[in-house]
Amino acid sequence: MNPSTPHTPQTPAPPREALDLADLLISRVVDGQASPRDWSALDALAGQHPLLWKELAMAQAQDRQLRAELAPVAHAAESIALPTLDHHDPHQPFTTETGSDAVVGRVGPGLGGEPGAGRGVGQFEEPSRRLGAWGGWAAAAVLALAFIAVRPEPMPRGADQSASLSGSIQSAADAFNLYLEKGKRDGTVLEELPQRYLLRTEPAPDGNGYDVVYLRQIVERTRVQGLYREAIDERGQPAPAPVIIPAPAARPL
C-alpha cells in the first residue's frame, strides 16, 4: 500500500436480501400501498442503513416527476376519439336504438350485406359465426334496452301458445329451464351457447370447493319492422339509414 494514499475505512454493504426488501418497501410507500408492518420493517432497515430514507425521498421525487412528464401524454390520449369506418365498408358494425325498429348486429358478407346473399340478420350458419355476430347475453341485454318501448312479438312460425308449461318451478334452475323450453316452443329462444366464460373464482366460504362466477349465453330471436345502420347525412351528422336485406330462401334454423 502506498503510504501517501490515505486509508479509507469501508462501510460494509447491506446484505443483498435487505437491499431487495428495502427497494420493495420503498416502492410500496411511493405507491401508497405500505402497511403499518411495511413501515416498521422499513424503519428497522433504515436503523441499520440511514441512507434508505434518502432513497425513499428520491423515489418519491422521481415518481412525482415521472407523473408530471407523462401528464401531457395522458391529456393527449384523452383527445383521441375513436374513428368511424366508411359507411360503405361492408364490415362496418352498426347499432341503432330507434323506437320499434332496433337491432344490434353487423351486416357483412354472407349476412345479407350484399344483394343476393340469401340470408338475413337472425339466420345463422354455425356457432362460431353466431358468437361473433351476437356476442351472447350482453348483446341480448342491449337488445332488451333497445326494445324498451316495444314488446317483442313471438315468432308466428312454430308458435304454440296453447302448449302447457311442464313441471313446477322449485328453483332458479327450474325457471331457467322453463324459460328455455317455452322460448324454444314459441321461437324466441334458439339455443344456449355451449361456451361459458369464467369471470371469477374464489374459495367457498365454507371451505367446500370453489365459488365460480361465469357468463352464460342465450341466443334469442325477435321480430322488428325495420333494420337500420349508422350513417352520415348530408350535414355530416350521424343518422340512421335503412338496410334492405333480400328475403332469404326457406331454410331450417
Applying CB under 8 A, which of residues 118, 120, 135, 226 lies at the interface with other proteins? 135
Find the shortest distance in angstroms from Cβ 137 to other proteins. 8
Please check whether residue 90 is in contact with residue 107, taking contact to mean a CB–CB distance below 8 angstroms. Answer: yes
Find the shortest distance in angstroms from Cβ 191 to other proteins. 16
Please check whether residue 143 is in contact with residue 104, taking contact to mean a CB–CB distance below 8 angstroms. Answer: yes
DSSP state of 88: T
Contact region with other proteins (CB under 8 A), list: 99-107, 166-174, 176-184, 245-253? 99-107
Residues in CB range of 220: below 8 A, 6 or more apart: 140, 143, 183, 188, 189, 190
Residue 239 as a binder of other proteins (CB under 8 A): the answer is no
Distance, CA of 237 to CA of 231 (rounded, Å):
8
Find the shortest distance in angstroms from Cβ 90 to other proteins. 12
Contact region with other proteins (CB under 8 A), list: 104-112, 147-155, 161-169, 186-194? 104-112
Hey, which residues between 175 and 214 contact other proteins (CB under 8 A)? 197-201, 213
Residue 139 as a binder of other proteins (CB under 8 A): the answer is yes
Provide the 10 A C-beta neighbour count for residue 176: 14
Of the pair 85, 165, the CB lying nearest other proteins is at: 85
Of the pair 136, 187, the CB lying nearest other proteins is at: 136
Find the shortest distance in angstroms from Cβ 217 to other proteins. 8
Residue 215 as a binder of other proteins (CB under 8 A): the answer is yes
Hey, which residues between 13 and 32 contact other proteins (CB under 8 A)? 13, 16, 19, 23-24, 26-28, 30-31
Amino acid sitting at position 83: P
Applying CB under 8 A, which of residues 78, 126, 206, 234 lies at the interface with other proteins? 78
Distance, CA of 57 to CA of 54 (rounded, Å):
5
Please check whether residue 210 is in contact with residue 202, taking contact to mean a CB–CB distance below 8 angstroms. Answer: yes
Question: Phi and psi for 220 in degrees, rounded to 5?
Answer: -120, 165
Please check whether residue 228 is in contact with residue 237, taking contact to mean a CB–CB distance below 8 angstroms. Answer: no
Please check whether residue 219 is in contact with residue 191, taking contact to mean a CB–CB distance below 8 angstroms. Answer: yes
DSSP strands (E only) in the chain: 93-98, 101-106, 189-192, 197-203, 210-215, 218-220, 228-232, 238-242
Residue 10 as a binder of other proteins (CB under 8 A): the answer is yes
Residue 106 as a binder of other proteins (CB under 8 A): the answer is yes
Q: Which residues bind other proteins (CB under 8 A)?
A: 1, 5, 7-8, 10, 13, 16, 19, 23-24, 26-28, 30-31, 33, 55, 58-59, 62-63, 65-74, 76-85, 91, 93-95, 104-106, 131-139, 141-142, 197-201, 213, 215, 230
